[in-house]
Structure 1
């Protein structure tokens, strides 16, 4: 994209294309805008992505369509709901964008809440809530592939919701999602290494990373340095046992995190449903955090 679009042009286009009102800009980074607004008098989040010039525009458009398609299919209180289809917008000067509407989630992204280490109850709630979200994804044979703090929302009531499946892979539609391995450095599984095969078990590893990071302030596998070195560590290094840092961690929480972070996929929980079933056994630690608790 050769230029930024003035906010007044963006808001006017959104009002006309999506019937949203009372738009307030919340964030702008790169070619993406996020607004808070109202759709039929209900609070909503409006996302806009400017399409780059050249062939990359096709990829950006497909990613937006994939995100909305996945969200429209999944019915879970732990996953943000989409409220519109993707619309394409043409601006003066030839610039183009895509936009859609999602439900409004209060609270803040998890990445803003990592300045201090968490207590065990908060971490257990994270695992239970996002475990339920992953179970909804995996039940539809969809792998999120980018389970990072930016894509997890901690709501004002203390619960967690999963967002932004723009890099999701539908296991039955590999032609749609491609074979490259995306994700956020520090939050990748060993299967994210180029040539790997990302499966539901890969999301389980990423959830283990989030829990480890929340409790310790550090990643279990160091993502710093050259990407090749990071990939080598993912392939060859075992994550440290959480109890070596958090010596008084409850046994059930310890065992769940350590199992999520097993380097060999077969030693992890195989998907979100198997994780949730294990968590529900340990009612004292996790039992009160489920939707139907």
Structure 2
């Protein structure tokens, strides 16, 4: 009997599956379609949450198709539409294809003691990618190392908008706590609505971590204590750990990490202006 991901692969017309990531209901593979290697994302649709899982998948594919068409290499590209297995109204599984990127995820790269220039390149690349989301009224909500990739040519690319939120659409709840421990913004644990400034906090976390080797708010230990620290604790200034940084760049990282959203940059466009970088075309 075929597994759900084998049925998805057959529906997508790909062969030679090799697993990349096992996320339970969501499986990720490298496969072959014609002459191109691609990434297969297959999601099992189980009761009692079929409608919610299906809607999440539809939104992820629609979003990725919309923003990757204009973002160039800054956001991973969609390679197919959504396919369903079984009854289209109540499928047993869904799936789609994305481009296979070369290079390495940030989680595969050593962090701490990055040069200021390398950290700035990361921040600029992330914010340029986020601009394409924010201008479409979308918040990524999961800027964790596994969702950020440095390609072989040095380009930084943003992946996996699976938890992204369209600001103009109703929120989907019931299955996932948005974000990754250690990489959440304070408002993500207080029940507040996501806004572009939440992604700005995520940029600050990644910049801080590659410069210092530490997370600005330690997620270890009891989850309730971590949430309390995230809500109440202002991260130490990055220059406490990296006194060699320019005041201007250190100030940008610290402002991104302000626990008060109104004191951060409003969105990617405002942060690009502060960085002295033009809006990406």
Report the TM-score when normalising by structure 2: 0.88
Native 8 Å contact 1:181 1:194 kept in 2: no
CA distance in 1, matches of 2:192, 2:244: 35
**Residue of structure 1 equivalent to 2:56:** 63
CA distance in 2 between partners of 1:171 and 1:10 (Å) = 31
Which SS does the other structure have where 1:161 is aligned? strand
CA contact (8 A) 2:8 2:83 kept: no
Return the TM-score normalized by structure 1.
0.85
Which secondary structure does the structure 2 equivalent of 1:174 belong to?
Answer: coil
Structure 1 unaligned segments of length 5 or more: list them: 282-286
Choose the corresponding residue for 1:122, options 118, 124, 131: 118
Match of 2:30 in 1: 36
Q: Provide the aligned C-alpha RMSD in A.
A: 2.6
Q: Does 1:138 align with 2:134?
A: yes
Question: For 1:17, which of 11, 18, 32 is the aligned residue?
Answer: 11
What is the match of residue 104 of structure 2? 108
Aligned to 2:193: 197
d(CA) in 2 for partners of 1:89, 1:276: 43
Cα distance between partner residues in 1 of 2:102 and 2:39: 10
Change (3 A) 1:45 1:85: same
CA separation in 2, counterparts of 1:214 and 1:51?
37
Q: Distance in 2 between matches of 1:121 and 1:291?
A: 19
Structure 2: stretches of 5+ with no match in the other structure: none
Is contact 1:146-1:187 (8 Å) kept? yes
Question: 1:195 Cα deviation (Å)?
Answer: 2.5
Q: How many residues align?
A: 275
Q: Which secondary structure does the structure 2 equivalent of 1:26 belong to?
A: strand
* Structure-2 change in CA distance of 1:5 and 1:118 (3 Å): farther
CA-CA distance at 1:95 after TM superposition: 9.0
| Whole-angstrom distance in 2 between the partners of 1:86 and 1:154 | 27
- Deviation for aligned residue 1:241: 0.4
Q: Which residue of 1 aligns with 2:256?
A: 260
Q: Give the match's secondary structure for 1:228.
A: helix
